[in-house]
Structure 1
Amino acid sequence: MDYEKIEQSEKRRRILGKGVTYLFLTIWALIVLFPFYWMLLTSVKSYGAYNAEHIPAFFTASPTLENYKDAFTAVPLAKYLLNTLIFTVITTAIMMVVITLAAYAFARLSFPGKNLVFTLFLSLMMIPAELVVITNFVTITNLNLRNTFTGLILPSVTSVFYIYLLKENFEQVPDELYRAAKVDGTSDLKFLCKVMIPICKPTMVTIVILKVIECWNSYVWPRLITDDPNLYLVSNGIQEIRENGFGRENIPAMMAAVVVISLPLIVLFLVFRSRIMEGVSRGGTKG
């Protein structure tokens, strides 16, 4: 009888614990998602209705899509989206080639001073980002690459953190596979393409998605290196809408542009969320 009471008490305690956990997670999810809801809500409010609100309303009875039309007509938002797509695709593709070769070299190849070089390489992560921006700006300016796609892309084609992450993942591949491949006369490049990349694909997909998000949200460097509207990215387009398109008061039109810009990243995450979770879990698993 006592055992039954103890078991029922434990069961109630587990149910109560799960209830509290789910309640906390629900509240936290609402807090995280609220800015997205507010952005979407504001984007479908008319200019007059938004400015007439003395107290912000959490819903609207007369939604409108006029703000989305204005976002594409006041500034060339479609061109900014195309520029961002080109910048993102080229930068991500080049970076994946660079970091894959670098990570493979540090993970599998043997050469004098490898550990020292990698340690010095990692020390670059301790340099403040502002100093890197200044150095990159001076270099790109001296090469006469301002107001060019090349100048936009070059400083972003490598990443110490992604090389480290991929190197750690490459090192989890058993050494026996590498030795067997070398016995069969397989070259390092072929082993990388046929064995390492397929095995580490989840991590590489995660890196690609993170880089795409990074490129899509780039603001400081594009703003610094170019003043040519033909090369503006979407982040610059938001500022363009604020400064030149509608003035500082038309918040609904700005929110409509933000929704359009954010939608590709949201879709990307929803499509590849399982790969992202798999890549993160593999990155933290040894063997």
Structure 2
Amino acid sequence: MKDSSGLSLSVHQRLEHKRTTRDGWLQSILGQRAGQALWYVIMLALAVVWLIPLVWVIRNAFLPREASIGSAWSWGFTLDNFIRVWEGAPFGQYTWNTFLVTAAIFLVQIFTLTLAAYAFARVPFFGRRVVFMLFLVQIMVPPDVLIFSNYQIINELGLLDTKLGIMLPYFASAFGVFLLRQAFKQLPHELDEAARVEGASALRILLRIYMPLAKPVYLSFAIVSISFHWNDFLWPLIVTDSPENRLLTVGLAMFAKSTESGTQWADVSAATLIVIMPMLIGFLLFQRQFISSFMHSGIKG
């Protein structure tokens, strides 16, 4: 009887243990899903908050001028705002200037940061670590602090109110050099040795091995560089005076400050949409590549 009772008690304990384990597992799963649902709600709320100004600008850009001023909801639609804005200010010239400046800065940056990053990652020379640390000090210095000194240099070079004057301070990027140098350091040295055995020069190794393998890092830097210089305002405002050299952001500010359009929200919204539309289209077309580049461009020491 004792053996039978003990066996029955042991089976009962095992069943209770299984039931307790199952209940704990269910509670854990429910807790995880509740946490995920809460996180999704928070992200959705932040996305809605971020989208409100954009939706407001898009709505006002296509509303008739009278409807945009009133408080009542309107289903009106017109393209006259864009025609009026395009004819009222040289936005075509502003757009071309912005494309030219942004593309030229990025291409020169790719050249300079590639050579500098390769030198810091693979070329041994005396004081390399010290020079690299001094080079990284630029990341900790806000760009606005250097505006006065940069303006003096551009003025002495006679480059005020020129596109080259806008571009020159940005031809080198400490952040880009740091990002690319970390990517180059992760590549195994065996690739260099194998290429040198085949008779490849340092430049050929850089072009055929390092740059293709660091493509995600280049794409990540392209997003940062292009978006920054497309939206840059303070430096182009200080350097340029003529419409022939103004960028879109400066042209938009001048247009919004004008007495004729200052209270016309439809015109200002249409001009704003003209400025931001290329970046929005670029992101929508290449969003998968953007996300993939940031996922595959992790930085290691």
- Calculate the TM-score normalised by the size of structure 1: 0.92
Task: Report if aligned partners of 2:237, 2:250 keep a CA contact under 8 Å in 1.
Answer: yes
Task: Report if aligned partners of 1:103, 1:163 keep a CA contact under 8 Å in 2.
Answer: yes
Q: 2:66 aligns with which of 48, 72, 92?
A: 48
Instruction: For 1:79-94, list aligned pairs within 5 A.
Output: 79-94=93-108
Give the aligned partner of residue 120 of structure 1.
Answer: 134
Shift of 1:286: 4.5
Shift of 1:3: 4.1
Shift of 1:177: 0.8
Q: 1:62 aligns with which of 76, 92, 100?
A: 76
Structure 1 residue 108 corresponds to structure 2 residue 122? yes
Structure 1 residue 199 corresponds to structure 2 residue 210? no
Q: 2:47 aligns with which of 13, 29, 32?
A: 29
| Letter paired with 1:149 | K
Greater CA drift, 146-155 or 44-53? 44-53
Shift of 1:82: 0.9
Moved over 6 A (4+): none
**Matched residues, number:** 283
Task: Report if aligned partners of 1:80, 1:237 keep a CA contact under 8 Å in 2.
Answer: yes
- Change beyond 3 A, Cα 1:125–1:13: closer
Deviation per residue, 1:125-151 (Å, 9 max, x gap): 233322311111100100111122211
- Change beyond 3 A, Cα 1:244–1:80: same
Deviation per residue, 1:220-255 (Å, 9 max, x gap): 111111101111110111112123373311122111
Identical residues among aligned pairs (%)? 28
- Change beyond 3 A, Cα 1:40–1:123: same
Distance 2:99 2:59 in 1: 26
Shift of 1:168: 0.6
- Change beyond 3 A, Cα 1:194–1:51: same
Give the aligned partner of residue 9 of structure 2.
Answer: none
Larger of the two Rg values belongs to structure: 2
Task: Report if aligned partners of 1:202, 1:279 keep a CA contact under 8 Å in 2.
Answer: yes
Unaligned runs of 5+ in 1: none
RMSD over aligned CA atoms reads: 1.9
Distance 1:21 1:212 in 2: 31
- Calculate the TM-score normalised by the size of structure 2: 0.88
Unaligned runs of 5+ in 2: 1-18
Task: Report if aligned partners of 1:223, 1:236 keep a CA contact under 8 Å in 2.
Answer: yes
Deviation per residue, 1:203-235 (Å, 9 max, x gap): 101211221111111211111111011111101
Deviation per residue, 1:81-136 (Å, 9 max, x gap): 01111111111111111111111111111111111111111112233322311111
Distance 1:184 1:168 in 2: 26
Task: Report if aligned partners of 1:74, 1:245 keep a CA contact under 8 Å in 2.
Answer: no
Distance 2:143 2:224 in 1: 18
Distance 1:218 1:271 in 2: 23
Structure 1 residue 238 corresponds to structure 2 residue 252? yes
Q: What SS class does the counterpart of residue 283 from structure 1 fall into?
A: coil
Give the aligned partner of residue 158 of structure 1.
Answer: 172
Shift of 1:285: 5.5
